[in-house]
């Protein structure tokens, strides 16, 4: 399609929207609203609160100092829509001050900026905080590469857990991204989550002596290779391996480490390549990833380990994951994805506050998700499209379940919460410090009326042990 403005006559220039920013009308809008409603209702049932973020943010929030040199794949500073906002004081006739800003290209940075503002207003802010957002995003994609799934304006649904350490918080994020698809009717055996870890990648960069610039190039190539292995445009795999080889040659990487990178890029089982290195840091992370996969399998989520899944978000610090939908005739690769970012919030934290606030989350682009659901027949007109309603009470959930901070503890509370959530009851699973003082503080801050500690063995009586939270009858 020719998106050139010069190809449009005057009439078409007046009536045609900018390339990559199409109009939507009628059933197309209703489908989008339905998908938003289903995802939002699910998040509410798990105890997440919605946040609305501005469409315009200060440009400094997306500076290299904050998001790094590669905040998402194929990053280029010119890929953002920058604006100069005139700040008039008390008259439009005076010369205004100006603020450099941009249209938001994604939601996570805005969420972390918001959290920084909360820490300034309330130094005793209670963690963790669970939230989600639905927001338009804007990226100045190359017009010759635009498609139905790749636009310059798109809608992002994101979910974040802020202030919770790795482990059960990562389990919940991945559990919820899979549960989101199941909520629409996608079969459990059609859902695959591919998980890697940026820590492993960074360790290999350190050991092989790659520069920051070289690491970004290799990371983006590995990201592409991960997609090839998953079933997306597999013919480009050899070219991506060659791209890595050229970077290693330019960097004069020692031959043994160049061989490791080549084997990693070419291998079907990348985790086995890393395991053979017998490096204590990488081995420890692989062990933790396998434990993560085991816990998620118990929750009915298929996880494939692939250390090539590094997602080119430089602010990621731990796990990175992408979710696919596999059907009989094709594989929909990277329907959504996410990861852990433990240092991003610190850029917005007030002086004197803790600067490492562990966080994790995921996002869907609705323009990418909706065609997948349509291909599965899950948005057909004869299907019931009536998601459960959202409560308007002030509490973030009706019940708070507290388990031990280990995989067995999470599985126990997830199992206990499932029947109530299936009935539309909003049940939060606590992911913070499990001391009674902390979870009671959390319940009080979120307005959750009932708490249920599940920290010990099963109650032989089988009785429900719901206790009122402080300040509630």
50 is in an annotated binding site: no
State the chain's mean pLDDT as an integer: 90
Measured in degrees and rounded to the nearest 5, phi and psi for residue 152 equal: -90, -20
99 is in an annotated binding site: no
Query: Please, what's the b/e burial string for 246-267 (b: 16 or more CB within 10 A of its CB; e: otherwise)?
Result: ebbeebebeeebbebbeebbeb
Distance CA 176, CA 39 (A): 10
253 is in an annotated binding site: no
Distance CA 253, CA 107 (A): 37
- What CATH number was assigned to the domain covering residues 5-390? 3.30.930.10
275 is in an annotated binding site: no
pLDDT for the residue numbered 12: 81
Start-end of H helices in 366-406: 366-375
Mean predicted confidence (pLDDT) in 132-139? 98
How does pLDDT run across 271-318, given as a tens digit for each residue? 999 999 999 999 999 999 999 999 999 999 999 999 999 987 788 999
Q: Where in the chain is the domain with CATH 3.40.50.800?
A: 391-473
Residue that wins the pLDDT comparison between 107 and 467: 107
List 80's β-bridge partners, or say none: none
The phi-psi region of residue 114 (left if phi > 0; otherwise alpha if psi is between -120 and 50; otherwise beta) is alpha
- Above 70 in pLDDT, residue 390? no
CA dihedral 332→333→337→343, nearest 10 degrees, is -170
- Please check whether residue 398 is in contact with residue 427, taking contact to mean a CB–CB distance below 8 angstroms: yes
311 is in an annotated binding site: yes
315 is in an annotated binding site: yes
- Above 80 in pLDDT, residue 472? no
92 is in an annotated binding site: no
Distance CA 99, CA 83 (A): 8
- Above 50 in pLDDT, residue 469? no
Structure tokens at 189: 């055996």
Bridge-based pairing of strands 399-403 and 450-454 is: parallel
Distance CA 341, CA 362 (A): 11
pLDDT for the residue numbered 70: 62
Q: What percent of the residues of the chain are helix, what percent strand, and what percent coil, each to the nearest 5?
A: 45, 20, 40
Distance CA 210, CA 55 (A): 37
- What CATH number was assigned to the domain covering residues 391-473? 3.40.50.800
- Please check whether residue 372 is in contact with residue 397, taking contact to mean a CB–CB distance below 8 angstroms: no
Query: How far lies 346's CA from each of 26, 107, 169, in Å?
Result: 43, 17, 19
69 is in an annotated binding site: no
3-class SS letters over 43-111: HHHCCCEECCCCCEEEHHHHCHHHHCCCCCCCCCHHHCCEEEEEECCCCCCCCCEEEEEEECCCCHHHH
Mean predicted confidence (pLDDT) in 254-268? 96
Q: Where in the chain is the domain with CATH 3.30.930.10?
A: 5-390
153 is in an annotated binding site: no
């Amino acid at each position: 399609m020719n998106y050139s403005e010069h190809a449009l006559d005057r009439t078409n220039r007046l009536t045609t929207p900018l390339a990559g920013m199409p109009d939507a009308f009628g059933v197309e809008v209703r489908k989008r609203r339905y998908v938003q409603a289903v995802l939002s209702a699910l998040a509410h049932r798990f105890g997440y609160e919605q946040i609305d973020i501005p469409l315009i943010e200060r440009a400094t929030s997306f500076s290299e100092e904050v998001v790094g040199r590669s905040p998402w794949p194929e990053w280029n500073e010119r890929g953002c829509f920058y604006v100069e906002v005139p700040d008039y004081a008390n008259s439009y006739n005076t010369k205004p001050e100006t603020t450099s800003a941009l249209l938001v290209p994604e939601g996570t940075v805005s969420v972390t900026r918001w959290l920084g503002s909360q820490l300034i207003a309330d130094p005793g802010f209670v963690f963790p905080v669970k939230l989600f957002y639905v927001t338009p995003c804007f990226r100045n994609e190359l017009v010759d590469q635009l498609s139905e799934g790749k636009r310059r304006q798109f809608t992002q649904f994101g979910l974040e857990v802020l202030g919770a350490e790795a482990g059960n918080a990562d389990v919940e994020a991945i559990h919820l991204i899979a549960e989101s698809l199941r909520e629409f009717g996608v079969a459990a055996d059609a859902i695959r989550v591919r998980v890697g870890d940026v820590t492993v990648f960074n360790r290999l960069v350190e050991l092989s002596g790659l520069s920051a610039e070289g690491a970004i190039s290799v990371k983006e190539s590995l990201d592409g290779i991960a997609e090839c292995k998953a079933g997306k445009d597999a013919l480009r795999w050899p070219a991506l391996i060659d791209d890595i080889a050229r970077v290693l040659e330019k960097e004069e990487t020692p031959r043994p480490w160049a061989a490791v990178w080549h084997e990693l890029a070419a291998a079907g089982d990348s985790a086995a390549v890393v395991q053979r290195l017998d490096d204590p840091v990488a081995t420890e992370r692989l062990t933790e990833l396998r434990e993560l996969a085991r816990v998620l399998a118990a929750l009915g989520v298929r996880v494939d380990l692939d250390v090539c899944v590094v997602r080119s978000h430089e602010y990621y610090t731990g796990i990175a994951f992408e979710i696919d939908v596999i059907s009989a005739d094709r594989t929909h690769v990277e329907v959504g994805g996410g990861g852990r970012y433990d240092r991003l919030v610190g850029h917005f934290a007030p002086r004197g506050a803790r600067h490492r606030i562990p966080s994790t989350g995921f996002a869907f682009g609705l323009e990418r998700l909706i065609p997948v659901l349509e291909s599965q027949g899950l948005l057909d007109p004869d299907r019931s499209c009536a998601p459960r309603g959202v409560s308007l009470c002030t509490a973030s959930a009706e019940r708070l379940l507290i388990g031990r901070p280990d995989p067995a503890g999470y599985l126990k509370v997830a199992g206990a919460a499932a029947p109530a959530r299936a009935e539309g009851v909003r049940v939060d699973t606590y992911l913070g410090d499990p001391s009674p003082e902390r979870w009671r503080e959390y319940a009080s801050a979120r307005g959750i009326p009932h708490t249920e500690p599940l920290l010990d063995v099963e109650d032989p009586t089988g009785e429900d042990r719901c206790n009122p939270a402080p300040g509630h009858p």
